[in-house]
Chain A
Amino acid sequence: MGVKLAVKMINLDPRAKIVIVLCLSTLAVFFNTPGLLLIVLIITLLLLQIFQVKYISLIYKFRRLLPVLFVLLFIQSAFTGHGQVLVAFGDVHILTTGGVSSASCVLLRMLILFGSAMIIATSNSRDYVLALVELKIPYEIAFMVLIALRFLPVFVQEAKDTLIAIQLRGVDMQKVAWGKKIKVFTYIFSPLVSNVLLKANQLAISMEARGFRLYPRRTYLRVLKYNSLDYLITILSLSITLVVLTLSIIR
């Protein structure tokens, strides 16, 4: 049963997934109390659970942000005077409930945004292009998006390789000062840009050589269809979000 549901959800139309993500992120941006945000986060995590996405590693990655959050916590406490004072040093407020709540809001929001982005990642990038085509976006543009997505990992890999080559020629990244690090990054950039231009050029030539854009329409081997589950989910998420938003505005 669980597996079957997961398969159904993963095969959801990409447009339905976009709707879910838009709803979640709208709520995340709109709410500004930790309690409500926590509820949205729990819903996000439940959805991730249904999609069978392993989200534990995401949460684990966020530990790197903790120092930033602590700084935020103290700054918010010291300068926005609202809430009760928990810790004070003379006249300076070190920790206030207002500070705690805004820092936790930031954390929760980020978790929700990243978590819902992981829902998007359960569809193949190709499907999003098909979704764009269905939305009557010209296929030249849809194709450009597809190619950008397709080549992104290649370029990331290329940048990593260049960084390795630079280190092998005697630059110790752990030891160079910050100013010099920026210089190193300019070294990574120039081959990258030149490669991107070169690849784009070659690709354009080989695509035209194979008849791309000869005719205004193109045959797609896979056609997206919005089925009943997609409609159900779209309507459900939109209406819940709208109801929740109106309720909280009225109150």
Chain B
Amino acid sequence: MIFMKMVQVGFSYPGQKKPLLNDINFSIHKEGITALTGPNGVGKTTLSKLMVGILAPSTGHITLKGQNMSSMALAQIGRLVGYVFQNPEKQLFCPTVSEEIGFGLQNLELPEHEVQRLVKENLAYFELEHLAQNFPLQLSEGEKRRLAIAAVLVLEPELLVLDEPTTGLDAYRKHLLGECLLKLVASKRGVFMISHDSNFIDRYASRILILENGRLKENGC
């Protein structure tokens, strides 16, 4: 079943003469890791923001599980699609690291011990236990990114969208992230990531899309 579909999507920011994105058509199934690459400033981040409803397309439409995305609330979309911002600072807003991970869970009306168990589990997996009571915005770059990913993943979205997730991660953490993405894929979830990291893409991606001059090309590999 098609999970997300973009139909003739075009987008331009207010005041832009030439549309940034033009006639984008593609579907995402909940399988494998899709990578999106392209030069700086072509609109990769913009495309990913369209995928989670942060921006609305200027032309065309996007469906999520068959439903038009423009009729869905961000909170609804967030349950299905997890989004990790290019700048992880933008999505950290809680006073401590463990609250940051627990925030989404608390909105799901889970029992408290369940929330605590999941928070602990994720703190351990992303090696953030020793920082559990720290202020998120004072972590190092790599730690912030791990935290941002953990805070989204804990909600178990069906599709995870990551905007340049490997920036700022050391080789070992990249490996951890890759393994984590593979685990997601194994549990029948999809991953869509924007990346310039060709080693990372070659190693993990099963489908590669290239954005150039506002158009999307599929690399049949």
Q: Are B54 and A164 in contact (CB under 8 A)?
A: yes
Q: How far is the CA of A162 from the CA of B73 in the complex (A)?
A: 16
A169 touches B104 (CB 8 A): yes
Number of interface residues of B (CB under 8 A): 28
Question: Is A187's beta carbon under 8 Å from chain B?
Answer: yes
**Does B132 lie at the interface of the complex (its beta carbon under 8 Å from any beta carbon of A)?**
no
Q: B95: which A residues are within 8 A, CB to CB?
A: 190
Quick check: which of B18-26, B78-86, B162-170, B174-182 contacts chain A, the rest being far away? Answer: B78-86
A190 → B minimal CB distance (Å): 6
A198 to B79, CA, bound (A): 32
B78 adjacent to A168 (CB under 8 Å): yes
Inter-chain CA distance A245–B147, complex, in Å, is: 63
A166 within 8 A of B: yes
Contact: A190 with B74, CB < 8 Å?
no
Given contacts A164-B54, A194-B135, contact A169 B107 (CB under 8 A): yes
In the complex the two chains form, is B93's CB within 8 Å of A191's CB? yes
- Taking the closest CB of chain A, its distance from the CB of B133, in whole angstroms, is 15
Within 8 Å by CB of B93, from A162, A170, A175, lies A162
Interface string of B168-209 (1 = CB under 8 A from A): 000000000000000000000000000000000000000000
Are A165 and B137 neighbours in the complex by a CB distance under 8 Å? no
Q: Closest CB-CB distance, A12 to chain B, in whole Å?
A: 25
A172 touches B (CB below 8 Å): yes
- Given A162-B93, A164-B54, A191-B93: A172 and B73 within 8 A (CB)? yes
**Pair B137/A194 contact, Cβ less than 8 Å:** yes
Cβ contact within 8 Å between B137 and A170? no
Tell me, yes or no, whether A48 is within 8 Å of chain B by CB: no
A198 to B92, CA, bound (A): 15
Minimal beta-carbon separation of A40 from chain B (angstroms): 33
Cβ distance A179 to chain B, nearest Cβ, rounded Å? 15
Looking at the assembled complex, report how far the CB atom of B74 sits from the nearest CB atom of chain A, in whole angstroms. 4
In contact, B135 and A170 (Cβ under 8 angstroms):
no
Contact indicator per residue, chain B 125-137, by CB within 8 Å of chain A (1) or not (0): 0000000000101
| Contact partners of A228 in chain B: CB under 8 A | none
Asked whether A169 lies within 8 Å of B155 as measured between CB atoms, the reply is yes
Contacts of A164 in B (CB 8 A): 54, 74
In the assembly, what is the distance between CA of A172 and CA of B73, in Å? 7
Query: From A184, which residue of chain B is reached at the shortest CB distance?
Result: B93
Name A198's closest neighbour in chain B (CB-CB). Answer: B137
State whether B90 touches A170 (Cβ < 8 A): no
Which residue of B73, B77, B85, B135 is within 8 Å of A165 (Cβ)?
A: B85
- Identify which of B54, B73, B75, B92 contacts A191 (C-beta below 8 A): B92
Q: B93 to A171, Cβ gap below 8 A? A: no
Task: Select from chain A the residue with minimum beta-carbon distance to B106.
Answer: A170
Interface positions of B (Cβ within 8 A of A):
52, 54, 73-79, 82-83, 85, 89-95, 103-104, 107-108, 135, 137, 151-152, 155
**Further 6 A-B residue pairs, CB within 8 A, beyond A165-B85, A167-B73:** A162-B93, A165-B93, A167-B75, A169-B155, A187-B94, A195-B89
